Amino acid sequence: MKQYKGYLIDLDGTMYKGSEPIDAASAFVQALKESQIPHLFVTNNSSRKPEQIADKLQTFHIPAEKEQIFTTSMATASYISDQTSQARVFAIGEEGLHSALEQEGHLLTEEYCDYVVIGIDRDITYEKLATACLQVRNGAAFLSTNSDVAIPTERGMLPGNGSLTSVITISTGVQPIFIGKPEPIIMEQAMEQIGLTKDEVLMVGDNYHTDIMAGIKAGFDTLHVQTGVTQKEHLSHFDEQPTYSIKTLEEWTSFLYNMKGE
Amino acid sequence: MKQYKGYLIDLDGTMYKGSEPIDAASAFVQALKESQIPHLFVTNNSSRKPEQIADKLQTFHIPAEKEQIFTTSMATASYISDQTSQARVFAIGEEGLHSALEQEGHLLTEEYCDYVVIGIDRDITYEKLATACLQVRNGAAFLSTNSDVAIPTERGMLPGNGSLTSVITISTGVQPIFIGKPEPIIMEQAMEQIGLTKDEVLMVGDNYHTDIMAGIKAGFDTLHVQTGVTQKEHLSHFDEQPTYSIKTLEEWTSFLYNMKGE
């Protein structure tokens, strides 16, 4: 196996499962830390701020600083900055999205918008959707933090941001640019953040359709872990395979320590 | 021109334009009334009750009783009754939808639903959409009052029920049965209501994609009026043509009086 200089790591299904720990995750991240291998946690969760996500990882004894968290909200804000500094943005979303946009110096507004951005918003209203549609019809660029259509919860599968996004898409006929996994945009933003090149970085995740496809589409090597959504037997259905697929991160942790010893 | 025994008549664009009158509408309906020709106003507006719509028509001097109004909410409630009496229904919508379902004897509930129904709801919440998705995933039949993706207003085009419906469709992967125009379901329900056969009735409306297509799909003769959405020059783009297309209803009113005189 190749020795990678950096890791991009998914969260839910890879580091934990909702509110439950995943056994091998803590030791794996500990090994990366001890080996001084740069790593970023890359998530399609747009609702929370990096410090909140780092706190959650720490409750699972996973070492994590807020600087190591890269959310799709941050990727969206950064994508806008690459095109327009101090853009006028109408944002439907939660704390994590508003905060990321403001930290990049964009102005949150409902009028004369350069961009309309939508992320999951559990306080969605008709008025917010109406404003988004009017601004998109008026020429604002239309971005969506991620295309996940459903969110697994204790109650069952609830509507994800991909389904909320469709209100604006269907009503205006304008397709959004999706930023999050499996799109390459979030991966390219993350790579810039970690300061390495594509062939130096491994993308780690449990979900073939988001994590592994994001890696494949962006041209990274990928490590599939069988602790979440996509099981080993599902992989055979897909044309493009991950570079590696392992049962749990324990295998990879041993490999990291062996490499270090060499 | 053929003498029809009954008329199904669209509202917005045919009888009025938003809050503005359409000149020839009042005399046309007056002529139907004087000629004792049965007629129903058939609308994709699910939000209001028939008495509210009849009141609106009367402000434009258009004679209308609440018994002559047939909304897509009524068609939806009646469609459910044809399959299940006293069904358990989770309904996202406004007053017109809840009232129509209750009048047909259905139970509005959030649990163990036989049906999930969605109509335009300007008080839409994430929780309503979540309940709808859970119930559809749990096997409830999924109905939508109408597929209109946008609503013309003074502010511009706002999200229509077709776009709100897409949240549930995209999130669950389940396609709804649409009841309103251009679907034939509302037309068949209206025909039952008016008590005539397809070849005896003329469908009148301004919008090719909803009114005229509804008539064509359900097998009615159609009268296109050029006072609303679809202009005369647009008609040539379509394969299937309305039976008649006229500038305003004035022409048809003269025809009605001539017929009566014969």
Whether B139 and B113 map to the same domain: the answer is: yes
Whether A163 and chain B come into contact, CB under 8 Å, resolves to yes
Nearest Cβ partner for A134 among B133, B155, B168 = B155
Check CB contact under 8 Å for B171 and A150.
Answer: yes
Query: How does DSSP classify residue A258?
Result: H
* Res. B262: pLDDT tops 80: no
Among A240-249, B14-23, B46-55, B124-133, name the one with the lowest average pLDDT.
Answer: B14-23
B159 contacts in chain A (CB < 8 Å): 126, 129-130, 133, 167-168, 171
B69 domain-assigned: no
Check CB contact under 8 Å for A133 and B160.
Answer: no
CB within 8 Å of B233: residues ≥ 6 apart:
none
pLDDT the model gives residue A262:
55
- Picking from B155, B178, B201, the residue at the C-terminal end of a domain is B178
pLDDT digits (tens, 9 = 90+) for A56-95: 999 999 999 999 999 999 999 999 999 999 999 999 999 9
Q: Which two tokens stand for residue A44?
A: 């399609």
Q: Which two tokens stand for residue B52?
A: 């509210």
Q: Across chain A, how many H-helices and E-strands are there? A: 10, 15
Residues of chain A falling short of pLDDT 50: none
pLDDT the model gives residue B221:
98
Owner of token pair 């649990």? B111
Whether B186 and B254 map to the same domain: the answer is: yes
Whether A170 and A187 map to the same domain: the answer is: no
Mutate to test the interface with A, among B171, B175, B178 (most CBs of A within 10 A): B171
| B261 — pLDDT class (breaks 50, 70, 90) | low
The CATH number linked to A96 is 3.40.50.1000
B163 contacts in chain A (CB < 8 Å): 129, 166-168, 170-171
B188 domain-assigned: yes
Whether A134 and A90 map to the same domain: the answer is: yes
CA pair distance B79, B81, nearest whole angstrom: 5
Q: How many CB pairs under 8 A join A and B?
A: 100
Check CB contact under 8 Å for A130 and B159.
Answer: yes
* Res. B86: pLDDT tops 60: yes
Q: Which two tokens stand for residue B140?
A: 């409830």
Nearest Cβ partner for A163 among B124, B157, B167 = B167
pLDDT the model gives residue A259:
78
Residue of B nearest to A171 (CA): B149
- Helices A161-172 & A126-137 angle (0-180, nearest 10): 50
Whether B160 and B225 map to the same domain: the answer is: no
Closest CA to A223 of A35, A39, A21: A39
Strand partners, A245: A224
Does A12 qualify as catalytic in the annotation? yes
Q: What mean pLDDT do residues B128-156 have?
A: 96
In A69-128, the residues whose Cβ lies within 8 Å of chain B are 121-126
A130 contacts in chain B (CB < 8 Å): 155, 158-159
Check CB contact under 8 Å for A156 and B168.
Answer: no
Mutate to test the interface with B, among A133, A144, A157 (most CBs of B within 10 A): A133
pLDDT digits (tens, 9 = 90+) for B153-201: 889 999 999 999 999 999 999 999 999 999 999 999 999 999 999 999 9
Number of domains in chain B: 2
A233 domain-assigned: yes
Full residue range of the structural domain in which residue A187 is found: 6-44+181-261
Whether A90 and A168 map to the same domain: the answer is: yes
The residues of B annotated as belonging to the active site are 10, 12
pLDDT the model gives residue B1:
76
Whether A82 and A122 map to the same domain: the answer is: yes
- Picking from A178, A194, A214, the residue at the C-terminal end of a domain is A178
Does A199 qualify as catalytic in the annotation? no
pLDDT the model gives residue A261:
64
Whether B126 and B155 map to the same domain: the answer is: yes
Whether A66 and chain B come into contact, CB under 8 Å, resolves to no
A49 domain-assigned: no
Helices (H), A13-125: 25-34, 50-59, 72-83, 95-103
pLDDT digits (tens, 9 = 90+) for B41-85: 999 999 999 999 999 999 999 999 999 999 999 999 999 999 999
Nearest Cβ partner for A160 among B156, B169, B171 = B171
B25 domain-assigned: yes
Check CB contact under 8 Å for B155 and A171.
Answer: no
Closest CA to B253 of B70, B34, B57, B8: B34
pLDDT the model gives residue B106:
98
Whether A171 and A239 map to the same domain: the answer is: no
Residue of B nearest to A164 (CA): B167
A189 domain-assigned: yes
B74 domain-assigned: no
Whether A152 and A212 map to the same domain: the answer is: no
Whether B155 and B193 map to the same domain: the answer is: no
Whether A206 and chain B come into contact, CB under 8 Å, resolves to no
Whether A167 and A192 map to the same domain: the answer is: no
- Picking from A125, A155, A178, the residue at the C-terminal end of a domain is A178
pLDDT the model gives residue B140:
98
A124 contacts in chain B (CB < 8 Å): 124-126, 129
A68 domain-assigned: no
B138 contacts in chain A (CB < 8 Å): 156
